[in-house]
Amino acid sequence: MRLASKLAWVGLGGAGLVGAAVLTRSEAAVPEPDLPAAAAPKPAGASPPRADVRWIAAAGGQVPELNQVSIEQDLALAAKTFGPGGVVLFAAGAGAPVVQVLAGSSPGTDPASLLADLFAPRGGRDSTYREPDLELDGPATAQSVSEALRVAVSQPGAPLLLYLGGHGHRGPTDAENAVGLWGQSELTALDLAALLRDTPRPVQIIATTCFSGGLAELAFADANAHSGAFPGEVCGLFAAPHDLEASGCDPNPDRAAQQGFGLHFLHALAGQSRDGTQLAAQDIDFDGDGTIAPREAHAYVRIHSEAFDVPTSVSERWLEAVAPGPGAPRTPVVFPEENAVIAALGRKTGLIDGLERARIHLRDIEAKIDAKSEALTRAQEAEDRAYRRAAGEILARWPVLDDPWHPQFSTMLAGNIDAIREHFASADSYAAYGAAREEVDRISGEVFDLRANAAPYERLARALEYRRRAARLAAQGGPAWDRFELLRSCELRAPPG
């Protein structure tokens, strides 16, 4: 599949549930070189970083095409939920018309639009762009977020909440999975580990991006599982594991049509369902202490989200790394939010009796995803062959029509407009290419549906495994258990608001 076409659609792909090759028309396919600090001058009107902030919320795509309106909407909801005393950083900053909003109409069918769709397909051509509709303290670049965070943790203070929204992509290692930020800059667990090492303030991270579970490597010093516990109190809750994408990033401004982790999570923190309806206390305050902790909101998302998200956490990663293996002694543990997830998803899946059956069902769905992914790979190869034939026929007659910046492009297009229109309408090669694209989209949709079907089983299996590993670690005790309790208490700490 040509790289450009991979920008057209966000939602599927990556190593995924089973490590299969799945079509990725998303941020995972976009090369995103880091910008040197000198290349990102401070924009006019940006507020200077402050040490007295209670929270920092940063979000936005690396380029306008990846800056969908739902990211802005989630950021506005985060600011409302967290209350005063925060810093809001978004995309290119105030006044920059980079918010992508679905226009409600399909790209044109005139020859120029068809040429663009053939030779340079990309998202956003059915959208408009506008300025941000929220009060900002500056842009969301790697430099601005890092500086705001560095100043905020430079001296002791109340716990700090860091919210990161938008897109993410996989790196060479889990610790190098990145949160994409404006200007094709990025932050990884390695970057955050360097910024937060020995911080005198506890830090709680919420990330809604694809592959955000890579940030769970902050359980360890230098984001390295062989280096012991992180030297400071840093925890986090994430929309997806290190190897899976997350839902969201929708150019459609209709919140009723969205299913992203941020929308669910932030409303849950406020005691609300996804649509803003107030919840009964017992439906969200799982430990009955009168407050809604981030980990409880995280559990609520796992129970109720219909998307393919499989949320995870730093404490889960810590257990994965340090808990004794199966067969080790266990001491009963009580985690009200995990018990609620297990009970609700057990009823939903019909697997009340536990982990092994959940794993069996998950393996069955994974096998189907494997088979469908193989079919998708074949369909992509067929699409690529069809593209080459269709493109070759056009370029054999009009050799510069794949380059709108060529000095002859405009005159060649204008002088042959009727013939080009007729070619698109009648060429068998172009019709075959269209059919091949439709087949790729059809199979991609089936993979999408299978992943959504698999999500409740994987969420259930992970919750059961979390409880079992914690029971084995509790029986062992010692510093590893103490660290786990610290991470859980951090994830259970009520956020600003």
Please give the pLDDT value at position 8.
29
- Per-residue pLDDT tens digits for 232-281: 999 999 999 999 999 989 999 999 999 999 999 999 999 999 999 999 99
Token pair listed for 21: 């090759």
Query: Residues 6 or more apart from 439 whose CB is under 8 A from it?
Result: 379, 382, 383
Report the percent of the chain where pLDDT is more than 70: 90
Interval 376-395 mean pLDDT: 98
Which pLDDT score is estimated for 41?
Answer: 41
- Determine the Cα–Cα distance for residues 170 and 188; give it in Å rounded to an integer: 10
Q: How far is CA 6 from the centre of its chain?
A: 16
Which pLDDT does position 18 carry in this prediction? Answer: 28
Per-residue pLDDT tens digits for 276-300: 999 999 999 999 999 999 999 999 9
Q: Which two tokens stand for residue 77?
A: 């909801």
* More confident call, 362 vs 23: 362
- The rounded distance, in Å, linking the Cα atoms of 217 and 207 is 13
Strand order in the sheet with 55-59: 86-90, 55-59, 160-165, 203-207, 234-238, 312-313
pLDDT tens-place string over residues 156-206 = 999 999 999 999 999 999 999 999 999 999 999 999 999 999 899 999 999
Average per-residue pLDDT in the chain?
89
* Chain CA centroid to CA 105, Å: 26
**Angle formed by the axes of helices 111-119 and 417-426, to 10°?**
60
Which pLDDT tens digit goes with each residue over 433-451?
999 999 999 999 999 999 9
CA dist 67 and 60 (Å) reads 5
Q: What is the mean pLDDT of residues 405-409?
A: 97
Measured between its terminal Cα atoms, the distance across the chain in Å is: 46
Phi, psi for 160 (deg, rounded to 5): -105, 135
Give 139's contacts (C-beta < 8 A, 6+ positions apart): 43, 46, 60, 89, 90, 91, 92, 93, 96, 182, 183
- What is the pTM (predicted TM-score) of this model? 0.88
The band of 353, judged by pLDDT with boundaries at 50, 70 and 90, is low
Give me the mean pLDDT over the 353-373 stretch: 90
User: Could you identify the residue written with the tokens 């981030």?
Assistant: 294
The string of pLDDT tens digits covering residues 320-350 is 999 999 999 999 999 999 999 999 999 999 9
pLDDT per position as a tens digit, 11-58: 333 333 222 222 222 333 333 333 333 333 444 457 788 878 999 999
